[in-house]
Amino acid sequence: MTASTPEGPLSDLLVLDLTRALAGPHAGMMLGDMGARVIKIEPPTGDDTRSWGPPFIGDEEERESTYFLSANRNKESMVLDLKNPADCEVLEKLVARADVLMENYRVGVLDRLGFPVSRLHELNPRLVVLSISGFGHDGPEAKRAGYDQIAQGEGGLMSITGTSQPTKVGVPIADLIAGMNGAFGVLAALHERTRTGVGRVVRTSLLAGMIGVHAFQGTRWTVAGEVPGLAGDHHPSIAPYGMFATATAPVQIACGSEGLWRSLCAAFGWDPAEPSFATNPLRVANRDALVARIEGLFATEPAEHWLALLAEAGVPSGKVRSMDDVYSWEQTLSQGLLLSVAHATQGELRLPGSPIRFDDNPYSGGRSEHLAPPTLGQHDESIREWLET
């Protein structure tokens, strides 16, 4: 480890991140947030996302993609050309010291580069290997390339998202969930290694991530035989639970119990036992009429009026915030969800923080000092020197 490796629950781990784009890099960033030393192995051209933009920041010679910056904090960057035997020898030395190796090549590519799982475990029997694919590592679709929006469609998520037509989620949710699942699988394999002394391969995919988050929408089909449609801005099984127009901005309400329904009715001066709305199944069946009634009332006052009334009544509600509003919100800042890091070429940058906190650390993640996403090959020299010690 380097002297600069900060504290954190994973600070004794070395992770080799051979992934690119988003799913794998997100998994590596999660481990880095918890204190692991993460060495990002990049080809001479760099991670694909270094060229994904606009927006970019910085001068043309030193420009950085904000996309790349979103998924690569708390990592070092080393350039290796795995078609070059000398660079393959460097990777072998790294593998021998590592705890985790992550890859998201298309199925079979790492084998052709000379690093099948058997070779990796020959070099280091304790190595945990995370392999992320688009559609799974076997089966009839195994060799398909995995891209987020395609996985959102193929995995069914787009069929339940939107109002008038299938719509993708506003972030690459298939990539992000695959990365989260991958990090979770790695930690399980590392825990098992404390008993067995050997590593194993953890596999997940963008498709698996999409199906894994179907939740009640999945069992609507597998158990009840009902094919879900577009959910729009309202919950398909609970009412009122969704977004409602007011005289100004929309307001969201989550009336998730009969007690909350009664509280909402008390605030609005309604009868909670009205025959059309007396139970949740009745409110779901008559949702259009209920939405029209609420929005008819809400049209008389601005959003702030209704949010204050709902808060006083104890009914969960909220705004639909823009990104600039989210990152200036006092609650966001209080949770350590905006980090300041010192970038090698761009100076001080503000980045979204880790969603995990520990009880003895006011910052997001497991470390009190976060590293900026690296420039391409920024740590080549220091890593090579470390390998010789």
Greatest CA separation found in the chain?
78
Domain count, the chain: 2
Percent of the chain at pLDDT exceeding 70 = 98
Instruction: Choose the final residue of a domain: 270, 285, 319.
Output: 319
Q: Are residues 345 and 302 in the same domain?
A: no
Q: Are residues 145 and 19 in the same domain?
A: yes
Return left, alpha or beta for 213; rule: phi > 0 is left, psi -120 to 50 is alpha, else beta: alpha
Q: What is the dihedral of CA 244, 245, 248, 250, to 10 degrees?
A: 40
Band of the pLDDT at 3, cuts 50, 70, 90?
Answer: very low
Mean pLDDT of 148-166: 97
Quick check: is 305 in a domain?
yes
3-state DSSP call for residue 189? helix
The helix or strand, by DSSP H or E, that contains position 270, with its residue range, turns out to be none
Q: Are residues 315 and 337 in the same domain?
A: no
Q: Are residues 38 and 125 in the same domain?
A: yes
Using CB atoms within 10 Å of the CB of residue 324, give its burial: 0 to 12 exposed, 13 to 18 middle, 19+ buried.
Answer: exposed
361 pLDDT higher than 90: no
Distances in Å between the Cα of 287 and the Cα atoms of 28, 195, 279, 293, 361 are 43, 54, 12, 10, 45
Q: Are residues 58 and 186 in the same domain?
A: yes
Band of the pLDDT at 5, cuts 50, 70, 90?
Answer: very low
What pLDDT, in 10s, does the model give residues 175-198? Answer: 999 999 999 999 999 999 999 999
Q: Are residues 295 and 343 in the same domain?
A: no
CB count within 10 Å of CB 24 equals 27
Q: What is the mean pLDDT of the chain?
A: 95
The Cα–Cα gap between 282 and 271 comes to 14
CATH number at residue 159: 3.40.50.10540
Enzyme catalytic residues = 235
Quick check: is 236 in a domain?
no
Quick check: is 306 in a domain?
yes
In which domain, by residue range, is 24 found? 14-213+333-387
Block residue for tokens 């009664």? 262
Query: Contacts from 337-343 at CB under 8 Å and sequence distance 24+?
Result: 337/364, 339/73, 339/363, 339/364, 339/370, 341/73, 341/370, 341/371, 341/372, 341/373, 342/372, 343/64, 343/372, 343/373
Say what the pLDDT of residue 225 is: 97
Return left, alpha or beta for 35; rule: phi > 0 is left, psi -120 to 50 is alpha, else beta: left
Quick check: is 60 in a domain?
yes
Q: Are residues 180 and 107 in the same domain?
A: yes
The Cα–Cα gap between 64 and 250 comes to 36
Using CB atoms within 10 Å of the CB of residue 199, give its burial: 0 to 12 exposed, 13 to 18 middle, 19+ buried.
Answer: buried
Say what the pLDDT of residue 6 is: 59
Instruction: Choose the final residue of a domain: 319, 346, 371.
Output: 319
What pLDDT, in 10s, does the model give residues 203-251? Answer: 999 999 999 999 999 999 999 999 999 999 999 999 999 999 999 999 9
What pLDDT, in 10s, does the model give residues 269-313? Answer: 999 999 999 999 999 999 999 999 999 999 999 999 999 999 999
Q: Are residues 117 and 151 in the same domain?
A: yes
Q: Are residues 186 and 288 in the same domain?
A: no
What pLDDT, in 10s, does the model give residues 313-330? Answer: 999 999 999 999 999 999
Q: Are residues 314 and 337 in the same domain?
A: no
Q: Are residues 257 and 190 in the same domain?
A: no
Say what the pLDDT of residue 365 is: 79
Quick check: is 38 in a domain?
yes
What pLDDT, in 10s, does the model give residues 29-72? Answer: 999 999 999 999 999 999 999 999 999 999 988 999 999 999 99
Say what the pLDDT of residue 368 is: 81
Say what the pLDDT of residue 1 is: 44
